[in-house]
Amino acid sequence: MATSQSSLRALTLGAIGVVYGDIGTSVLYAVKEVFGAGHVPFTVDNVMGILSIFFWTLTIIISLKYVTLVLRADNNGEGGLVAMLALASQSVKDKPRLRRVLLLVGIFGTCLFYGDGVITPAISVLSAVEGLEVVSPNFKKAVLPLTLVILFGLFAVQKRGTADIGRFFGPITLVWFSVLALLGVWHIGHNPEVLWAISPHHALRFIWTQPVTTFIILGAVVLCVTGGEALYADLGHFGKKPIRIAWFFVVMPALTLNYFGQGALLMQDPTAVTNPFFMMAPEWALLPLVGLATLATVIASQALITGAFSVTKQVVQLGYLPRFQVWHTNIKETGQIYMPLVNWGLFVLIVLAVLLFKSSSNLAAAYGIAVTLDMLITTVLTFFVIRYAWHYPLLLCLAATSAFFMVDLAFFSSNLLKLADGGWFPLLIAAGVFTLMLTWKDGRRLLNQKLATDAIDLNSFLEAVFVNPPTRVAGNAVFLTAAPGTVPNAMLHNLKHNKVLHEVNLFVTVVNHEVPWIGMDKRLELEALGHDCWQVVVNYGFKNDPDLPRALQLMKGRGFELDPMSTSYFLSRDIIAPTLGSGMAPWREKLFAQMHLNASGAANFLKLPSNSVVELGSKIEI
């Protein structure tokens, strides 16, 4: 029992550090952006109305939608938009047209994550470093260079993994939330009537009397819930209970107290709107607060970068992106990975965002549109999960999701006003990634169709070969093939050039499924073809870590045991030649050919021993 309680405390502390890092740094800029734009005059009623809107936005979107409803939609214990997409698409697999639409919508939602992943570290770190301007205006020129140095350092250490520094995330973030609460309580003590803003009538009165202003400021109000998606995305790492405990007992109270404290400060001193968060602190605490805020934003950014690696790996295994080079940074934790291309690609885009927008206020104009559209997509997918996977009554499903849909739609519509001021930036990134994903998916479909058209039936081929068999040489040959029951190109080339056949031949197809995990008991499907030839299907979920040699060891006790020392792996390295025809547009075919050429080799992806791999090339026209 004591061990169980200790584990729960550790997971809750971990959830505070990883899950809530992003939403915890929203206090740096959310209130400033609502009042700083000049749309809301400084009156007591207006401040109370805005604080009430903040509180009920946190309650409706985070407490009710994500913590209460969406966390229930786990896919074999896993969360995140990819897991939700897999769950929704599986639930409507008997409706192929609807399934295709949901896949497109869900994949675009995943692409929006990358847009958000660029803006979040940029605005978070920049807003923390801008605290130096409150210390002294002389620091203004140092803000941009210092921000870029911090971001470079953050991305440079990724290849070392997060095992050593990750253990400090929870405690540091807990200190951060404690400071948020203390600052809030101190200012609420000077103006305790702000606590009445918890009453929804203040929010409703503001909305009723100033509907146009409300619609405009929703684009800034939504900044208080950025990072909400992380609750669901990290479900598999921490579980529902620690995430819920962390939210209701630590994070939401601290955020509410801090927002209300900022409101109390603004009632006393409207000039504090230039940076209400840092102006809450006494002068002696300013520099330590800037340092703590910078640490908190780095942690928030770290969680997002790690999430980008994880999401990319999942999308690759779902077949929407080519294989990337993956480094495992922890021998014990397979989930701790590093992707050089993703890491430095994100860094370049973040630097571009910082240099393009130059301040957290300008970045706030770009922030929100990707987040709100992602929230909208999550709500839509949730409806299909609870209706078609859980089989709840239609009216109940509509009741459970329509209110959230309307709230999400209102926030998204308001953010569309910021499209020209910077909202285009994350959407452009998402559109670029979406184009790459669709091109890869369609290109793979065309490639597989071409291979299927030219394919030779494996059983018939083996019968013909063994009528007058070639020389058999000692050892085992593993041939990778895209589809079971077809002859791999690598085998045809091997017979043509080497004119030999190994003693044992395995024809292996790796199949990735739309479920997070597939256990070792279902990893291997085995069929004997005679003449010491075997058809093998290896199954992986999108969160499994592919390791083909390890999977093939499961053949032991099932009729054959593979000796790693006498096994060679034969792969076909196809070169794509775009041609005019009924395939994709010429530019997309050229893009696919380039992506295919630059994709990380199957040998690395499947963890094949490099000294046992033979690659044989072939040219394929699509």
Domain map (residue ranges) of the chain? 2-442, 455-621
- Average pLDDT of the residues of the chain: 88
CATH of 2-442, one of 3.30.70.3400, 1.20.1740.10, 1.10.274.100, 3.90.1200.10: 1.20.1740.10
Confidence (pLDDT) at 166? 62
Least confident of 46-55, 121-130, 225-234, 471-480: 225-234
Confidence (pLDDT) at 330? 60
For the cut 70, the answer to whether the pLDDT of residue 94 exceeds it is yes
For the cut 90, the answer to whether the pLDDT of residue 235 exceeds it is no
Confidence (pLDDT) at 429? 94
pLDDT tens per residue across span 472-509: 899 999 999 888 889 988 888 888 888 889 999 999 99
Q: By three-state DSSP, how is residue 534 classified? A: strand
pLDDT band at 287 (very low <50, low <70, confident <90, very high): very high
CB atoms within 10 A of CB 354: 23
* DSSP 8-class letter at 199: S
* DSSP 8-class letter at 510: E
Q: Residues 573-600: what's their mean pLDDT?
A: 82
Write out 76-94 in H/E/C secondary structure.
CCECCHHHHHHHHHHHCCC
d(CA 89, CA 95): 9
Confidence (pLDDT) at 338? 84
Q: Residues 318-342: what's their mean pLDDT?
A: 76
Contact 139, 311 (CB under 8 A): no
For the cut 70, the answer to whether the pLDDT of residue 539 exceeds it is yes
For the cut 70, the answer to whether the pLDDT of residue 128 exceeds it is yes
CB atoms within 10 A of CB 9: 13
The fraction of the chain above a pLDDT of 70, given in percent, is 96
Establish how many alpha carbons lie within 13 A of residue 83's alpha carbon, considering only the half-sphere containing its beta carbon. Answer: 23
d(CA 452, CA 211): 59
Least confident of 387-396, 410-419, 556-565: 556-565
pTM: 0.86
For the cut 80, the answer to whether the pLDDT of residue 1 exceeds it is no
Q: What is the CA radius of gyration of the chain?
A: 27
CB atoms within 10 A of CB 237: 18
pLDDT tens per residue across span 359-378: 888 888 888 888 899 999 99
